[in-house]
Amino acid sequence: MQDERGRILILGGTGEAMKLAAALAARPDLPALLSFAGRTKAPQLPSIPSRIGGFGGVDGLAAYLAQMQTPLVIDATHPFAAQMSQHAAQACARLGVPRLTFTRRPWTPQPGDRWIEVPDIEAAVDALGETPTHVFLTVGRLSLGAFKRAPQHSYLARSIDQPDASELPPSCRVLLARPPFALAEERALMQKERFDFLCTKNSGGAATENKLLAARELGLRVIMVNRPQAPEGETLFDLDAVLDWITAHRPPP
């Protein structure tokens, strides 16, 4: 515990957090620690120290930051991990700890896209309508349960981890797969399945973008769940810029 004090805290659960952890592993002058929520069944572990599990709300996180003498917090959580980001903003503001968000740029609709943008997952379920349709779900395992209230549709849910049966709507097959996905692979899957909709979250990033390119080519309608409101504060999308920010904000030795 003693040698974990004074480390930069990276809030993770994303590829961005892993990239930052790998970069900081090569920077002994910038010691860091990566925090996972503990949702992934077999997380890849970084080459810097890590911890797993919630902090216990804003108060728990503030107590942790104070106890660990955390100099900086990098919020590299998923853009849809809204609660963790709000907690980080509040705890850092309370203690005066500088905080940066490191995330991916959101996707934006391009000519030829047939997007239906919705504010949240419940609105995505509503957007499918009453008439039975065939839906490609790439919303993440933890959001699949929302579709249980639309059992008239048939679904193919792509997920990294196997969802529990209780988390799935009745007519739902599961495709276990880990990104990245090639364009040819996405196109072939969509042609084989003849989906009526692709339903996805606006996570952004290159690893899962080819599904949108394939949908555009095939004229497939996309129900796009927009990102939740992020807390105010600086956001960077580029690893080198994040490293520069850390260098500029770290406390003097």
From 8, 32, 70, 77, residue interacting with ligand NAP (rule: CB under 6 A) = 77
140 lines the binding site for ligand NAP (CB under 6 A): yes
102 lines the binding site for ligand NAP (CB under 6 A): no
Distance, CA of 218 to CA of 145 (rounded, Å): 28
Distance, CA of 95 to CA of 66 (rounded, Å): 8
Our CB check for ligand NAP shows the closer of 90 and 171 to be: 90
Contact 92, 68 (CB under 8 A): no
87 lines the binding site for ligand NAP (CB under 6 A): yes
Least Å from the CB of residue 219 to ligand NAP: 27
Distance set, CA 68 to CA 6, 83, 187, 225, 248 (Å): 6, 22, 48, 36, 21
Per-residue binding letters, 31-60, with ligand NAP (x by CB under 6 A): ----xxx-x--------------xxxx--x
118 lines the binding site for ligand NAP (CB under 6 A): no
158 lines the binding site for ligand NAP (CB under 6 A): no
94 lines the binding site for ligand NAP (CB under 6 A): no
Distance, CA of 222 to CA of 201 (rounded, Å): 10
119 lines the binding site for ligand NAP (CB under 6 A): no
Q: Residue numbers of the site for ligand NAP (CB under 6 A)?
A: 11-14, 35-37, 39, 54-57, 60-61, 77-78, 80-84, 87, 140, 201
